[in-house]
Structure 1
Amino acid sequence: MNSEEEPAVPSWLEENWERLEQVGKKLSGGEVNKGSSPKIQKIPLYMAERVEFRRYYEPQLISFGLYHLSKQQLLQGKRYKDLWTAMYLQNTNQRVRDLHLRIRRHDWRPFYQYVELSRDSDTRETISVYGNPRSKDDFVAGVLMLDGCCVLQLLEKSDSSVDPKQELKISIDKLVRVHQDLLVMDNQIPFQVLRLLCEDEARLKKCLQNFLQVHGIETTPKLGKQKPYFGQQEAQEIVVIVQGDDQQDNDEDEGDPVHLLDYLRKALLMRDHNTIHKEIEIKIKIRRRSLHLRKYRIGTIQELKAAGIRVKKLSCNNVVYPSFNNGILQLPVLTVDGTTAYIFLNLVAYEMCPDFHNNFEISSFLVFMSSLIDQPEDVKELRMAGIIVNELASDKEVADLFNKMDSILVPETLLFAEIRDQIHSHFESKRGRIKALTWTREAYNTFFRSPWTIIALFAATLGLVLTFIQTWFTIHPKDS
């Protein structure tokens, strides 16, 4: 045997060589500035495994789509799927076979990455619960048809004037959990499935309006023109042209959303992009972008107050961009309730998806707010200014929520960097006053955080006074 014989190519590399060549051709063909429409992906492990976040990334009652399908604890929700699907079919006078064929014409599996329907034993057992499909595509189409009809019926009957116990045959506490399940990032179904199942545009828009109103959002983004379905063999690949690192995609709001969570994000970011950014100086646009993940250490509301900075609420709704001018920090109105953490943490996970080109607007806003809020007193100031509408039990719960989110790290964005620099410049002229307030807060947190610390402080003070009196009379006896 020739000692210089070339080593064999590893089997794993040989099997993937064709795929790697295709990727190389796309890169060399100038497609580096193009990205596929975001797929429905699993929550990143570095977020999902955090103990304090885990509950917000797990559906509680119903699974939608393919990722959580095999979880036994969610099979109890299938009876609601069957019930609401039957209601939807009856209300729209449609047949299961027709809708299944309509969904089956398209390949939806590419929407879901890293899911294998044949190797997982739990999934095989789940497939048997849904019937005995002839192929994976039949199964996927059946699941999405059932889930889509279920979601449409749920949203249509989620109007504030509808009694859920009467119309959906579900108690209000379970209904709240179902709506939270609709927010989980990897518990989504493609929006185009909803389009195929609901050809009545007015009905679909009403469902979407109800979805946003459930979460306190009054404005609704317009739906764009229907694009080719991702995975449809005869259609061209859907691409989004990225206009540059420092510029939001102008096409982001065009076309249908990817899924309901994406639609909710569009609603939160509804704005005139040019108006929002017109006050940003040209000079910061040429600033070198930091490649570090960081927090925005701006200062708490109490520290801002000590520096003479006032906070006011923005007049427009559903905008997550603050502004700072002439010592006034303007912030959007934010309602904090039991669903807030589900919304924001799943939107953060969505913005972290590798194939979603965005400027981390939601993530940056949360990092910004977590810097402003440290103690319940900070929440109280924002609440008194009409910026925070607190629907939790106390201001402390709101502070604890934002302190949890303080662990979020994002690349620095130009707008928040500019506001931070403006506030820090303002701080420089008020540094002494801020230090005095910091010492006062530290003393307050040390000696007045509970009744026991107050008693201990009182006892220590009383002991010092008695010691002083005893020493005085020792030095100056009464007879003298």
Structure 2
Amino acid sequence: MHSKMHSKMVERAKIECDYLCKTLEESEKQLTGEGNKVSRPKIQRIPAYMAEKLEFQRYYRPQIISLGCFHNKRQGELYKKAWAAMYIRHTNLKAEDLFMELWGNKRMWRNLFDSDMVDTELLIVDGCCVLELLEKSDLSVDPEQELKISMDKLVRVHQDLLILDNQIPFQSLRFFCEDQERLQKCLCNFLQVHGIETSPKLPRKKRENEEVKVAVDGDDEEDPVHLLDYLRKALLMRDQHTFYKAINHKKMKRGSLHLRKYRIGTIQELKAAGIRVTKDSHNNSMYPSFKDGMLQLPELIVDGSTPHIFLNLVAYEMCPDFRNNFDISSFLVFMSSLIDQPEDVKELRLAGIIINELANDKEVADLFNKMDSILVPETPLFAHIRDQIHSHFESKRGRIRMLSWMGEAYNTFFRSPWTIIALLAATLGLVLTFIQTWFAIHPKSS
């Protein structure tokens, strides 16, 4: 009796062990991409630890139209269906043919989303409406008249196109717009709306059944994953090798596995150390550089869409299926270290680095202070710049300490007319007290 029970237990244990080994092997293959030809980032939700931050939530929710399958599908339905109808009509597409072709390959399209809630109607409406929106956002046309929407709503629609989990696959734009030049023009319009003049060229269209490679940061041979990915490519389009070759010849320490902020020093502190901050003449990149006591920063337009762009790009770089160097996230951590007070923003604005289209410099400072909560692993490029600046600091430490004290004194005693009056009154009181004490000790002889 006991022998039979023992045999059954051993057999059951063996079955469970075989199942465990199988699941371990499958997980390894899934993680490494083995056996999976299509290994590209999917349209997925904002990482929870970012979406749950109260100060970020407004930048992760569509205001006018929702795309894809993660938000309310009926939000902006009138605009979406009307724009889709306009696009289908003036491009002479046949809705019936589109529907049948998409329906026959719906499993492939669903694999592009981190969700099964994708239907053929959604793909047609979303893809065609986005193309119509981008075509009619050209500077040579009147988008309000063409799209039948007020300008304030149109601005918010373009902000909705920046939200990570409000994206549609770039393949759908390819599918509904086979004309490469027309599609490239739509993408240029998309970037120009957000103040980006230079746009990456699209690679050639993939042939049918051609293998899709694993998405790797900086790969120019692959289509972007979605519009947000294309915008990121545009910001980082200057050759990364130009920046990394300067540090590759040195033996770099292994990158820290700690999530951290880069403590560089504020603009005021850099100025006190004799570091000049200037605008980089190459205005098509986000990479800063430091050489011979000069920190060069890219030009940055700050307007109402800036937090939508940056916070959604940060969320994208945090996605587990996107292999990247955290370039945008690291840049924001770098900038949040440089900017602490409105005076720092003023210095950057006078240097032509920040173009402030918000109400005042304090709003820009508050924006970057809000982004100071972003934590990313240290990257070699920004660690190299930080080390260079800190080395420069060490040689100027005495001057920095003196000017930091002067800056604190200024903020304490001269921040408003009332503090100045109070300081003068206190100083006058001390002088009078000193005079009275003097004459008490040295009375005037008669």
TM over 0.5: yes
Kept in 1, the 8 Å contact 2:40–2:215? The answer is: no
Long gaps (5+) in structure 2: none
Deviation at 1:346, TM superposition (A): 0.6
Q: CA deviation at 1:76?
A: 4.7
Q: 1:254 is matched by which residue type in structure 2?
A: E
Q: Does 1:347 align with 2:313?
A: yes
Q: 1:22 aligns with which of 3, 26, 35?
A: 26
In structure 2, how many angstroms separate the alpha carbons of the residues matched to 1:391 and 1:276? Answer: 30
User: How far did 1:112 drift?
Assistant: 2.2
Q: How does 1:443-454 map to 2 (within 5 A)?
A: 443-454=409-420
Q: 1:446 to 1:14 in 2, by over 3 A?
A: farther
Q: Match of 1:87?
A: 86
Structure 1 counterpart of 2:234 = 267
Change (3 A) 1:16 1:110: farther
The 1:146–1:13 alpha-carbon spacing in structure 2 relative to 1, beyond 3 Å, is farther
Does the 8 Å contact 1:212/1:218 carry over to 2?
yes
- Give the Cα–Cα distance (whole angstroms) in 1 for the partners of residues 195 and 420 of structure 2: 41
Whole-angstrom distance in 1 between the partners of 2:183 and 2:242:
30
Alignment correspondent of 1:194:
173
Distance verdict in 2 for CA 1:105–1:437, change over 3 Å:
farther
What is the aligned counterpart of 2:203 among 207, 224, 244?
224
Letter in 2 for 1:50: K
- The 8 Å contact of residues 63 and 181 in structure 1, kept in 2 or not, is answered as yes
Instruction: Tell me, in whole angstroms, the C-alpha distance in 1 between the residues paired with 2:184 and 2:245.
Output: 32
Moved more, 182-191 or 362-371: 362-371
Q: Deviations over 1:1-21 (max 9, x none)?
A: 857563978xx9999997655
8 A Cα contact 2:277 2:295, kept in partner: yes
Are the structure 2 counterparts of residues 450 and 56 from structure 1 closer, same or farther at C-alpha, using a change threshold of 3 Å?
farther
Are residues 48 and 452 of structure 1, via their aligned partners in 2, closer, same or farther at CA, if it must alter by over 3 Å? farther
Alignment of 1:367-378 (within 5 A): 367-378=333-344
How does 1:103-118 map onto structure 2 within 5 Å?
A: 103-106=102-105, 107=107, 108-113=109-114, 115=115, 117=117
The residue number in structure 2 matching 1:42 is: 45
In structure 1, the residue matched to 2:121 is 142
Contact 2:162/2:312, CA 8 A, preserved across alignment: yes
Q: Which letter maps to 1:358?
A: N
What is the distance in 2 between the residues matched to 1:309 and 1:210? Answer: 38
Aligned to 2:119, the other structure's residue is in SS state: helix
Which residue of 56, 59, 63 maps to 2:59? Answer: 56
- Alpha-carbon displacement from aligned partner over 1:177-198 (angstroms, at most 9, x marks no partner): 0000000011000000011111
Question: Where does residue 243 of structure 2 map in the other structure?
Answer: 276
CA separation of 1:197/1:33 partners in 2, compared to 1, >3 Å: closer, same or farther?
Answer: closer
Q: What is the CA deviation profile of residues 257-314 of structure 1, one whole-angstrom value per residue up to 9, with x for unaligned ones?
A: 0000000001111112332333224124x42121111111111111111111111111
Amino acid at match of 2:385: I
Pairwise mapping of residues 410-449 of structure 1 onto structure 2 (< 5 A)? 410-449=376-415
Q: Which whole-Å CA distance do the structure 2 matches of 1:365 and 1:359 have between them? A: 11
Match of residue 169 from structure 1: 148
- State the partner residue of 1:331: 297
Deviations 1:332-378 (A, max 9, x none): 11111111111111101101111101111111111111111111111
1:234-253 pair list within 5 angstroms: 235=209, 238-240=212-214, 249=217, 252-253=219-220
Alignment length, in residue pairs? 439
Distance in 2 of aligned mates of 1:436 and 1:60: 49
Contact 1:34 1:241 (C-alpha < 8 Å) held by counterparts: no
Q: State the partner residue of 2:283.
A: 317
**CA distance in 2: counterparts of 1:336 and 1:236, whole angstroms:** 41
Contact 1:35 1:241 in 2 (8 A): no
Aligned-partner Cα distance in 1 for 2:323–2:234: 17
Specify whether residues 13 and 88 from structure 1 end up closer, same or farther in structure 2 by C-alpha distance, changes over 3 A only: farther
Q: CA deviation at 1:476?
A: 5.1
Corresponding position: 1:157 with 2:136: yes
The TM-score, its normalising length taken from structure 1, stands at 0.84
Percent sequence identity is: 69
SS in 1 for 2:76: helix
SS of the aligned residue for 1:354 comes to coil
Matches within 5 A, 1:68-79: 68-69=71-72, 75-79=74-78
CA-atom RMSD in angstroms: 2.9
Structure 1 SS opposite 2:84: helix
Q: Quote the Cα distance in structure 2 between the aligned partners of 1:25 and 1:155.
A: 39
CA offsets per residue over residues 398-451 of structure 1, 9 Å max, x none? 111111111111111111111111111111110011111111222222233344
Residues 124-150 of structure 1 show CA distances to partners (whole Å, capped at 9, x for unaligned) of xxxxxxxxxxxxxxx622111101111
- Partners of 1:192 and 1:206 lie apart in 2 by 16
Per mean C-alpha deviation after superposition, the further-off stretch among 178-187 and 413-422 is 413-422
Amino acid aligned to 1:379? V
How far apart, CA to CA, are the structure 2 residues paired with 1:30 and 1:260?
A: 24
The answer to whether the 8 A contact 2:215-2:323 is kept is: no
Among 324, 328, 344, the alignment partner of 1:358 is 324
Bigger drift between 150-159 and 38-47 goes to 38-47
Q: Does 1:101 align with 2:67?
A: no
Equivalent in the alignment of 1:121: none
Q: Identify the match of residue 394 of structure 1 among 346, 360, 367.
A: 360
Structure 2 CA distance for partners of 1:35 and 1:190, relative to 1, 3 Å: closer
Cα distance in 1, alignment partners of residues 54 and 18 from structure 2: 40
Cα pair 2:80 2:126 within 8 Å, conserved: yes
8 Å contact from structure 2 (residues 66, 160) kept in 1: yes
